Amino acid sequence: MAVPEIIPIAYEPNHRTGTIGRFADGQFLASVTYAVPEGHRYGEGSEDARRLYAVLHRFDFEGRHVDSDIWCAGTWDEQQRDRGGPDSPLARAEARMAALVDALPRREFQGIGIRPFRLTVDNVLFGLVIERHGGNEDEDDWAELYPDGLGFCEPWDGEYST
């Protein structure tokens, strides 16, 4: 089955799709996620290359990407030095994401349907990208949310794979 034009994403409270929904101007998808720049090789310096981001993507009601607020809260190394602290990168990222989501007028958490999109910030890919993962080399069959690592596929019911 081919990838649909609009990819459904199911709302799962207290899980990785617990901060998605609709608001007065359209739809939103928010997350806190680690990412490394494209082309980075793991090894020496990986702790500084792995960054923690607060992300809010906004879409119109037809699922077209409108804009994104992407903010780097710090590195993996900084998080390891200040684990659980109120000023840790994770605490800062979670606070930033919560503030962004709270600012959305008439926000309701629920499933969404969005179209593929991509953008690069800090040399990191963000977006919902169509790919081929199955056995059919002639047909795209997968939509991957980057850098979150959530994959969507048949039966296109909004459930994700990691």
What does the domain layout of the chain look like in residue ranges? 7-152
- At residue 162 the predicted structure's pLDDT band, cuts being 50, 70 and 90, is confident
Give the separation between CA 92 and CA 54, rounded to whole angstroms: 9
Give the separation between CA 29 and CA 17, rounded to whole angstroms: 8
Give the separation between CA 19 and CA 54, rounded to whole angstroms: 12
Give the separation between CA 83 and CA 55, rounded to whole angstroms: 21
Give the separation between CA 141 and CA 130, rounded to whole angstroms: 8
DSSP 46: H
Give the separation between CA 46 and CA 37, rounded to whole angstroms: 10
Are residues 88 and 78 in contact, defined by beta-carbon separation less than 8 angstroms? Answer: yes
Are residues 65 and 57 in contact, defined by beta-carbon separation less than 8 angstroms? Answer: yes
Place of tokens 């901060």: 19
Which residue would you say has higher pLDDT here, 81 or 43? 81
Is the pLDDT at 149 greater than 70? The verdict is yes
103 φ, ψ (degrees, to nearest 5):
-80, -10
Q: What pTM was estimated for this model as a whole? A: 0.91
Q: pLDDT digit string (tens) for 57-96? A: 999 999 999 999 999 999 988 888 887 788 899 999 999 9
Is the pLDDT at 145 greater than 90? The verdict is yes
What is the pLDDT averaged over residues 120-126?
96
Helix (H) or strand (E) holding 27: strand 26-35
